[in-house]
Structure 1
Amino acid sequence: MKVTGRSLGRAAAAAAGALALTVTMAACGGDDDGGDSAATVDGIELVKADTLTICTNLPYKPFQYPDDSGEIVGFDTDLLGLLADDMGLETEIVDVDWNQVTSGAAFKAGKCDVGMGGMTITPEREAAIAISDPYFEATQALLVKADSGIAGLEDLKGKKLGVQTDTTGEVYANENAAKYGYTPVAFDDLSLEATALLANRVDAVINDNGVLYDFVKDNPDTKVATEFDTGEEYGFAAVKEANGEKLIERLNGVLTTSKEDGSYDEIFAKYFGE
């Protein structure tokens, strides 16, 4: 399976334009006999022929991130690779603002077929997009400098707490700001948020536990001070229309099979260990 990754946000606009052109060409190029076009697989319409186009917001290691060669890899990437293999497709990854995935705007604009990003399933998101069965459990956690002395939100009075825009971590931080007396500071992605902590622009960072523990591996001067029992589950996203529902149904079958045949466990061990 070939994976084409766009690891820089600046590529998103160009990618969107190219994909929109592809959609137009595919729509005009159907088979004369009324059968499936090149951009349709088993009744599921794709924005680009022979390709599963995936929207995400980079980086979000270890779920999706550019490796040293610039290729986009990660836990979510590998799981959606199983779907692409099942459908006989290659994959292409498009970097967009995260709210374009959670609001469904990226799908309605024809930028992608499916969205990934360690996305917590919430009632608001279920109302806006089609979401797969849960595939990963998570909770919010607090990242701090190892020598900060900060153990929890109660130690942040008068301090700054970094949050990632349009995430459940931002919601949790905002809900508790008045109680603990800190100021939330928003960043567009995880990388900017974590870098702000290293640069002492914020005193702590809140985000999903999986990505923060991974960050600590590469930054031993930081630590996860505590977790918050938010009981979250991740799902993949698609447009909330019949075509998106078909794609999600296909994905749910692939996820079920992966847990039965051991491929899910292999991918999990690859990024999180045993």
Structure 2
Amino acid sequence: MAEQPIIKLHDGNHIPQLGLGVWQASIDEARQAAVAALQVGYRSIDTAAIYKNEEGIGQALQETDVARDDIFVTTKLWNDDQLNAERALETSLKKLQLPSVDLYLMHWPCPQKDSYVQAWQQMIRLQEQGLTKSIGVCNFNEPHLKRLIEETGVSPVVNQIELHPMLQQRTLHAWNALHQIQTESWSPLAQGGKGVFEQEVIKRLAQKYDKTAAQIVIRWHLDSGLVVIPKSVTPSRIAENFAVFDFRLEKSEMSEIAALDSGNRLGPDPEELN
């Protein structure tokens, strides 16, 4: 089995650098994908209340022979529940059939609602109660992060953001790193490789390393120090996405991929989603 890197978070907990995402998967698809991923060697699974498939992950955790302590489970607080984080997490835990999760993330700041600081204060209490080991956020820009830290004194361990070769978010990634916040990439393959897989540098590197375009992009995330959660419900693709620990990209190749950054956002703008 491939040995994957484990990253230490600033609260002392550890997260596998490569995990399985299950966005847009049905309950049964999520169950089957998680079972397949755990068999291959994945030890991190990322779901969310809004995905409506936490039950499938809960079922997979019951089916697998992998010990619970060896699996890093992430779920997320949806926007409508920012003022009811405890109830929301309890609902998620029931669906997951777990007493606690490893990481609970606030899904979006929703700045116009102006309740993300209150939500964060609740999440701090949930961590203190042992219902989640770590707490973090998704889709937070620098001003949102600054406000959380200034008003609560507690910094997120993770900021999960849209990040792929066409939207590299280098300034935010650097700001996160400066403040010991681990950047995690969602839509790491640009939702099926849109505008990425056909790039000449990606095709050339895939040929050089005898890897697929997706494997090259996942390796780019890993070599960039990012936590990455590619989504797939296809067992062969799940296995393929994990077979990336037997090579590394050279610095010059990383620079070539850096040149692909076009600021092309595929998901919502965090300043506008409320």
TM-score greater than 0.5 by the shorter chain? no
In the superposition, the TM-score normalised over structure 1's length comes to: 0.26
Q: Whose Rg is larger? A: 1
The structure, 1 or 2, with the larger RCO (C-alpha pairs under 8 Å, 6+ apart) is 1
